[in-house]
């Protein structure tokens, strides 16, 4: 997100617009944690992971009273428009806030899950996939050396967008994702078929929100069905959410940061800036929130073909 914040700040200054940073999201907005930003405030930030503005959830912003306090802070600081970075929850709050108080807002898609409608990729996604894949490559070495079946859990409570490229790039035999139902019986059958072909090691990538359960749950059920299988579980966890951003993420965040500011200047509001087919698009918050991003079925077919 730092690359996006940097782009927002420098684009605003380029156009002669004063810019402020709100610490800790809506929580900080309510509390008045607002700081004036200049070009030096975001110097040497494009390569840093995380966010210099911090992040926090705000239960109070879900109430009318909390949003009124947030609006009062904006008035006090003379702030006339907002750029918000986040996902469905962030945009839901922004849409309601604009409807109530008329503060024009443009969103930037910031979530490693890449599950937002209105953009091919979200900020942080490419870095998260590469981080997970690097770990999976190392796990594959152990699986091959010791003839084991590894069940690797990646993030994705409602989305398999991290799990799928990790499965393809990591050479996994099976991937389990929330969007596509796959029975435990079919997983067991595929593992048994592999064993009949004298295959001695397996890699199963599991999105944390899969209907059959997380990696630990699925692995336990498989071990019960195939006792002779040497099963191990690895949960990659929050390592996927940090680290220096990839080149692709830095470019995407910079593009979207510029687009968000220039969208506000040109009168746009209640929309998210995104990139589809390498072109800049603005999608209404309503669509981002309510419409579901479809899973690329050709990727699922790739896994089926390449795992044989």
| pLDDT tens for each residue of 21-56 | 999 999 999 999 999 999 999 999 999 999 999 999
What is the rounded average pLDDT of the residues 249-277?
98
Please tell me the predicted confidence (pLDDT) of residue 308: 74
Lowest-confidence segment of 34-38, 57-61, 131-135, 292-296 by average pLDDT: 292-296
Binned at pLDDT 50, 70 and 90, residue 292 comes out as very high
Binned at pLDDT 50, 70 and 90, residue 307 comes out as confident
Q: What is the DSSP letter of 90?
A: H
What is the rounded average pLDDT of the residues 255-261?
98
Please tell me the predicted confidence (pLDDT) of residue 304: 87
Please tell me the predicted confidence (pLDDT) of residue 252: 98
Q: Which part of the chain is CATH 3.40.50.450?
A: 2-124+245-290
User: Cα separation of 308 and 299, whole Å?
Assistant: 15
User: Cα separation of 65 and 72, whole Å?
Assistant: 11
Q: Which entry of 38, 113, 158, 210 is annotated as an active-site residue?
A: 113
As a CATH number, domain 127-241 is 3.40.50.460
For the cut 90, the answer to whether the pLDDT of residue 155 exceeds it is yes
Q: What is the DSSP letter of 228?
A: T
What is the rounded average pLDDT of the residues 186-198?
94
What is the rounded average pLDDT of the residues 59-74?
98
Is 189 one of the annotated active-site residues of the chain?
no
Q: Which part of the chain is CATH 3.40.50.460?
A: 127-241
User: Cα separation of 188 and 185, whole Å?
Assistant: 5
In terms of Cβ atoms closer than 10 Å to its own Cβ (0-12, 13-18, 19+), residue 70 is buried
Percentage of the residues of the chain whose pLDDT score is greater than 70: 100
Percentage of the residues of the chain whose pLDDT score is greater than 90: 93
At 48, list the tokens.
Answer: 């840093």
What is the rounded average pLDDT of the residues 166-180?
95
Distant-in-sequence, close-in-space partners of 54: CB < 8 Å, separation ≥ 6:
23, 24, 25, 28
What does pLDDT average to over the chain? Answer: 96
Please tell me the predicted confidence (pLDDT) of residue 209: 93
What is the rounded average pLDDT of the residues 99-118?
97
Options 3.30.1360.200, 3.40.50.450, 3.40.50.300, 3.30.460.80; which CATH number does 2-124+245-290 get?
3.40.50.450
Please tell me the predicted confidence (pLDDT) of residue 171: 94
pLDDT, tens digit, for every residue of 194-229? 999 998 899 999 999 998 999 999 999 999 999 999
Higher pLDDT, residue 182 or 263: 263
């Amino acid at each position: 997100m730092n690359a996006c914040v940097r782009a927002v700040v420098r684009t605003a200054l380029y156009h002669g617009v004063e810019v402020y940073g709100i610490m800790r999201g809506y929580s900080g907005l309510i509390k008045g944690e607002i700081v004036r930003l200049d070009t030096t405030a975001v110097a040497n930030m494009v390569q840093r992971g995380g966010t210099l503005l911090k992040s926090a959830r705000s239960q109070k912003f879900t109430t009318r009273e909390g949003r009124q306090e947030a609006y009062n802070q904006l008035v006090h600081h003379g702030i006339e428009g907002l750029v918000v970075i986040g996902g469905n929850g962030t945009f839901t709050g922004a849409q309601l806030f604009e409807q109530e108080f008329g503060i024009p807002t443009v969103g930037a898609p910031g979530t490693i899950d890449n599950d937002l409608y209105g953009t091919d990729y979200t900020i942080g996604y490419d870095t998260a996939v590469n981080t997970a894949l690097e770990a999976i490559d190392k796990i594959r070495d152990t699986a091959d050396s010791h003839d084991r079946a590894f069940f690797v859990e990646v993030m994705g409570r409602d989305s398999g967008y991290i799990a799928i490229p990790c499965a393809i790039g990591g050479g996994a035999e099976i991937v389990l994702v929330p969007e596509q139902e796959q029975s435990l019986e079919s997983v067991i059958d595929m593992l048994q078929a592999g064993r009949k072909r004298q295959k001695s090691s397996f890699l199963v990538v599991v999105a944390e929100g899969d209907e059959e359960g997380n990696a630990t749950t699925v692995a336990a059920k498989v071990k019960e069905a195939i006792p002779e299988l040497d099963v191990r579980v690895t949960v990659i966890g929050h390592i996927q959410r940090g680290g220096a951003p990839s080149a692709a993420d830095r470019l995407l965040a910079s593009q979207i940061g510029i687009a968000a500011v220039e969208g506000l200047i040109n009168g746009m509001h209640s929309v998210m800036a995104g990139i589809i087919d390498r072109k800049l698009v603005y999608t209404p918050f309503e669509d981002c929130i309510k419409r579901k991003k479809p899973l690329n079925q050709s990727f699922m077919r790739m896994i089926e073909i390449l795992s044989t």
